[in-house]
Amino acid sequence: MERYNVAVVGAMGMVGSEMTRTLERRDFPIAEFRPLDIPANAGKTVTYKDNPVTVQAAEKANFTDIDIAIFSAGATAGKTLAPQAVEMGAVVVDNSSQWRMDPGCPLVVPEVNSHDLKWHKGIIANPNCSTIQMVVALKPLHDRSPIRRVIVSTYQAAAGGGRRGYEGLQTEAEEFIRTRRPVEARVHPVQLAFNAVPHIDIFQEEGYTKEEYKMVNETTKIMGEEAIEVTATCVRIPVFIGHSESVYVETAERIGADDARQILAAAPGVVVKDNPSNNEYPTPLESETEDDTFVGRIRNDLHNPNALNMWIVSNNVRKGAALNAVQIAETLTAMDLVRVHT
């Protein structure tokens, strides 16, 4: 079996740490594992397969002999360092928003559009976490009957804001329980603990946020269908890990709820949990240790015979970030799209 030199950029961060664990858990064929991070973290160690590995500074010279570089270091690092890594011979999978809408860069969810990897020029973009779990569930339905319209409301976990968001929620919750008074907002515009905040990223034209536009634009790019009409409302809720989505899907021809359950149950990466009479439906709490995307509350729309409503839940740190990036790397190797340094 071919083995690869793999770098994780942003290895000390929340998603970077999960990328390392995912590579280990899935036994990715690694010859050398090289964690990279900001210069201030150089010299620290991360654990890979029970061994301490020294963190190096994320700079061009340290991509020498790297075959695959998986980035979770933000858009600025993606913009500057990713092309440098490619120059050094690596294929980059970037988890930031920097390259997602670049027409020369594939935006990939392996269960949906792995074929787009064939035209990569060195950088592959990892989509937004909320988009990933939605398109994993949409694609099997789209294959049965073309999707015309999607209306989605998200209920996104604090971990969507990284370790700072995760820890900020914990601090707010502890303080609010202790004082029973409004607390200082740690990360979001207003207090998140015991609240719901319909504001993720910055507001843009027409009153939509950047996060909402990500879901609109990324969905059509990944699905390869510009004609799909997508409308999103993105909300941050006081859950630590696991994004939830209420999704209305309108198709060209009718797909009944029973058929949809069968289609989704057979789809890769999807688990149908849909028995409300026994209180069986997906919740974000159960997603904390899971890789799959869970779908439940599948039902026919009350007014449009060609529409369905469903509830989609997935671990935003795993499938929404680290796992999808590693799956892209796995697919690249399976398709022989990585040049191995010897």
| Residue positions annotated with a catalytic role | 129, 243
Burial of 260: CB neighbours in 10 Å, binned 0-12, 13-18, 19+: buried
Q: How many residues does the chain have?
A: 342
3-class SS at 298? strand
Q: Residues near 249 by Cβ (< 8 Å), separated by ≥ 6?
A: 138, 141, 147, 149, 150, 307, 308, 309, 310
Nearest to 130 by CA among 245, 2, 225, 258: 245
Any alpha helices (H) in the chain, and if so which ranges?
A: 14-25, 74-87, 110-113, 129-144, 162-179, 210-223, 257-265, 323-334
Q: What is the CA radius of gyration of the chain?
A: 20
Give the C-alpha separation, 320 to 131, whole Å: 8
Residue with tokens 């502890």: 174
